[in-house]
Amino acid sequence: MKNTFLYLVVLLFLASCTTKPEIDPWVISAPAGERFTRIDKTGTTVIPNGRLVTPAGKSIVVAPHPYGLTLSPDGSTVVTANSGTSPLSITIIRNILSENPEVQQIPPGPATDRGVLASVFMGLAVSKDNSVVYVAGGQENKVYIFDIQTGERKGFIDCSFVSDSVDYSHGYIGDLVLSKDGKKLYAVDQIGFRMVISDTETGKLEHNVPVGRYPFGICLSPDEKKVYVANVGMFQYSMIKGITSGNVVEKALKYPAFAYGSDEMVEGIHNDSLDIPGLGEMNSPEAFSVFTVSLKNPEHPEVIAKTKTGHLVGAMVEGIPAVGGASPNSLVATGDYVFVSNGTNDNISVISIEKDTVVNTIFLKPDSRVKQFRGVIPFGMALSPDNQQLFVACSGINAVAVIDAIKLQVLGYIPTGWFPAKLQVSNDGKKLIVSNAKGFGSGPNGGSTFQRGPEGSYIGALMKGTVEVLDIPSEKELKAYTTQVISNNFHFEKASSEKFAERKNNPIPLYPGEKKSPIKHIVFISKENRTYDEIFGQIENAEGEAVLARYGKGASFHNQSNTASVENVDVMVNHLKLARDFAISDNFYVDADVSADGHRWLVNTYPNEWCETSTAASYGGNRRFRFNSKAPGVYGMNGAAGAIYPEDYNEAGSMWDHLERNEIDFFNFGFSIMFEPAVYDATYKYQGVKHYINFPLPQPVWEYTSKQYPTYNTAIPDQFRIDMFKREFNEKWINGQDTMPALLTVIIPNDHGASDRPEAGYPFRESYMADNDLAVGRIVEFLSHTPYWKNMMIVITEDDAQNGVDHVDAHRSVLMVISPWVKKNYVSHVHYSFGSIFKTFWNILEMPYLNQYDAGANDLHDFFNDKPDFTPYSAIPVDSRIFDPQKALDPFDENFDWKALEESPQMDNKEDMIRESKEREEYRLKNREKEN
């Protein structure tokens, strides 16, 4: 039963959820239509989520992920901090407003010179005399100093400090700001939960001021009597008591510590066997807040106010209780106000300088037809020199919002590159300078037309950023720009359009509530890290490149030591058979770059600015301290993980919260329960990993997750996972009293790959693909022989595509749709993204959309027809030369080689992916020679 009142409220806002005949609702879809992702720097770029990018002005390409941006006091030089996947660097752009700016990257080239810049994270400031730039050193706990004319490093300011009462030997320096006279430098330490004040003349650290959790943004008041710090964190995480590096294997928890929002989460668990620290209240003053630090007494700076911004967790917002916090992240100040961007709430809090309280809120809702959906993600901000206008980077809609800073009203939006992060305004107030973290996207990373550069083919290195320089528009120009921004993000069409007449009998409703679907049971399966071309590149009547299909037909390869090889073998035979028996897409893209953001997207959580920046920094080489650190925030800076953290939670929550609100039954097999840091060991047969940090699991998934099914760990055969799935499915929904839930989520991760282990049944890296392939075939075979098959849909995809190559785009990946109701041997060419999957789920389950990404995507109706074929699927065996299932796992006694677990790679091991990149190149060259 659905909550009737809530459902009616949602219907009022979401016209597409009504069935009243007198209303003609808007149907929203992706602007890409059937276009493939492509980069066009002088025209219209199609990005993986189906949206369009048409940046105003001119764009200058810089290194990946420029999350930091500053402008020199003389207005001539821009510096970006590129904290993404290697290279970690800064980019100096001299004569920024000229026709031909000079661009210098430090260090040069694709590889980071550790002696020059070991770490960088967002914070930048140029000295008053325009001679040097101060660069936040991230995990190095330093602020580096570079000559702005030569690019040479001149030294650093050490931010470490240890006394009898505090230990700041470990730190993670981020955003920073310089006083007008250039003598004082103020910076945040994200894991130290402090603000540091340094003297630039002596190069010494002067003060450590404790602030809130994960301080992210910082600004000075114009009179420099106050410093404001924005805290994006919710909790201070800690290790479970009694666990040490020596006993973690046996003492770690089999399941995450507690459910989010529970009494146990707040108070902790303290008994004879467990001592787990509680996390406290979700709306603590230290969480999602702005701290005001008084500089009235320079010798004793002190916090004088703690201001909560945006919506409190649990507050009712448009009929839905807020699940995530506001995520205040960036700040700018006038003489009257401090403006704070709330990344999760899509609004700007206006704090009175005089009173240190929120006095107004500015809402960022670019179009009334999607006004109830979050996803704008306000991030960096800048003020015009006269303080009349405020500019806000709207990362989620690839635009800059222009706001009247006096009337506190949104004037319009300007189109930018992909994921605008930070802004600056020229000294004359005529130009806007924007750093776009993802620029124009990655483009292809393989194929006959791909030109491999020195950075290689890894997706992270190809995601170049851009610096966009544009004229600040007139009122008339801004109106046209705003229209462009809306059309870049959403396509609107009335439900009565002739275009939709063909969908009258399609099993997928046009919008939630439009009609009843014959599909009653959905199985959502996630795999790990593959592209389209490497599996399906040989499929006919599809956009593939056969030479890249190293896991398709007729593959030849050798083991890591080059002592064994196989010629002309078909690798993922069930995937190819399923493509013939059912349907696939050749125009589907993961929204994620890597696994960390991929596992957020997989549960319908779009990564906010905190996730995007910390993930990129982690993959770029900024490492996290663990057992030996006393920094209070050491466990919150996470990279690759298979779960979402409270700092990630969107305002309306994830898929789990959405299902629970709408009282839809679900059950989970391995999804979203793998937090990092964690520990892997040979005895974790039914878990995959164990946890030693007190991270909370989203409340809805806490109870409805299998305790038998192991999550990610490539040393556990996927065959074992399928055995556990079948056993529990039979117990619950075949032989038990319950009916199969409306939605099952299942992770089958071994196509991630790992090193060859012939003694464990994996003689080649390709063996893991065969293991995964057989598991996929087996689960489809099993499900298609259950009584639920006639009303079932199975959707199979990947969390990301970073371990493969593709000739269309590095984000293009696998999407398989399996059901009696799908077209046979069909390849859909409609542009799809993760949002497309969830939109289809909600249309079938008669649920409102959750955010702008699912609301604005194309649904999967093109896969379906109204004539079902109930023939079940029969799995086929894989080639025993590359994988021996019996050797990996005897399905009757469950014996397999536990020693292999000791060698299982952690998710997204960078060295492992670099090695695989070389193997990909060998395969491509070898097959190119065959063709020639």
**Does residue 88 or residue 201 have the better pLDDT?**
201
Q: How confident is the model at residue 920 (pLDDT cuts 50, 70, 90)?
A: low
Q: What is the mean pLDDT of residues 327-347?
A: 98
Q: Residue 598: what are its φ and ψ, rounded to 5°?
A: -60, -40
User: How would you label 547-568 residue by residue, b for 16+ Cβ within 10 Å and e otherwise?
Assistant: bbbbbbeebebbbeeeeeebee
Task: Give the per-residue pLDDT at 894.
Answer: 53
**Residue 779 DSSP label:** H
Q: CB of 213 within 8 A of CB of 610?
A: no
SS3 readout for 105-138: EECCCCCCCCCCCCCCCCCEEECCCCCEEEEECE
Task: Give the per-residue pLDDT at 899.
Answer: 41
Q: How many CB atoms lie within 10 A of CB 15?
A: 17
In this predicted structure, which of 311-325, 614-628, 817-831 has the lowest mean pLDDT? 614-628
Task: Give the per-residue pLDDT at 907.
Answer: 52
Would strands 792-798 and 132-136 be described as parallel, antiparallel, or unpaired?
A: unpaired
Q: How many CB atoms lie within 10 A of CB 302?
A: 13
Tell me the per-residue pLDDT of 408-425, one tens digit each, with 9 for 90 and over: 999 999 999 999 999 999
In this predicted structure, which of 190-194, 446-450, 830-834, 845-849 has the lowest mean pLDDT? 446-450
550: amino acid identity, one letter: R
In this predicted structure, which of 77-91, 342-356, 755-769 has the lowest mean pLDDT? 77-91
Return d(Cα 156, Cα 144) in angstroms, integer. Answer: 4
Q: What is the mean pLDDT of residues 332-343?
A: 98
Q: Report the percentage of the chain scoring pLDDT > 90.
A: 78
Would strands 521-527 and 792-798 be described as parallel, antiparallel, or unpaired?
A: parallel
Q: What is the mean pLDDT of residues 440-454?
A: 92
Task: Give the per-residue pLDDT at 110.
Answer: 61
Q: What is the mean pLDDT of residues 525-546?
A: 96
For domain 508-608+648-674+711-927, give the CATH number.
3.40.720.10
Angle between helices 766-784 and 573-581 (to 10 degrees): 40
Q: In angstroms, what CA-CA distances link 744 with 345, 440, 524, 626, 794?
A: 29, 35, 6, 35, 9
Q: How confident is the model at residue 372 (pLDDT cuts 50, 70, 90)?
A: very high
Residues across the chain: 932
pLDDT at position 82 over 80: yes
Tell me the per-residue pLDDT of 623-660, one tens digit each, with 9 for 90 and over: 555 567 899 998 887 767 889 999 999 999 999 999 99
Tell me the per-residue pLDDT of 116-145, one tens digit each, with 9 for 90 and over: 777 889 999 999 999 999 999 998 999 999
pLDDT at position 909 over 70: no
Q: What is the mean pLDDT of residues 731-743?
A: 94
Return d(Cα 410, Cα 403) in angstroms, integer. Answer: 4
Residues 6+ apart with CB under 8 A from 115: none
**Does residue 915 or residue 254 have the better pLDDT?**
254
| Average pLDDT along the chain | 91
pLDDT at position 248 over 90: no
Percent composition of the chain: helix, strand, coil (DSSP 3-state, to 5): 20, 30, 50
**Residue 401 DSSP label:** E
Q: How confident is the model at residue 460 (pLDDT cuts 50, 70, 90)?
A: confident
**Which residue in 436, 333, 337 sits closest to 393, CA to CA?**
436
Q: Residue 755: what are its φ and ψ, rounded to 5°?
A: -70, 150
Angle between helices 718-729 and 766-784 (to 10 degrees): 20
Task: Give the per-residue pLDDT at 714.
Answer: 84
**Which residue in 256, 328, 196 sits closest to 608, CA to CA?**
328
pLDDT at position 895 over 80: no
**Does residue 290 or residue 625 have the better pLDDT?**
290
Residues 6+ apart with CB under 8 A from 837: 524, 795, 797, 815, 860
Scanning the structure block, which residue is given the tokens 């099952």?
744
pLDDT at position 20 over 70: no
Q: How confident is the model at residue 685 (pLDDT cuts 50, 70, 90)?
A: confident
Concatenated DSSP letters of 826-843: EEE-S-B-HHHHHHHHHH
User: How would you label 659-685 residue by residue, b for 16+ Cβ within 10 Å and e otherwise?
Assistant: bbbbebebbbbbbbbbbbbbbbbeebb
CA 829 to chain CA centroid, Å, is: 25
Task: Give the per-residue pLDDT at 116.
Answer: 73
**Residue 167 DSSP label:** B
Q: CB of 623 within 8 A of CB of 906?
A: no
Q: How confident is the model at residue 924 (pLDDT cuts 50, 70, 90)?
A: low
Ramachandran assignment for 544, one of left (phi > 0), alpha (psi -120 to 50 degrees), beta (any other): beta
Task: Give the per-residue pLDDT at 688.
Answer: 83
Q: Could you give the 3-state DSSP secondary structure of residue 363?
A: strand
Q: Where are the domains of the chain?
A: 508-608+648-674+711-927
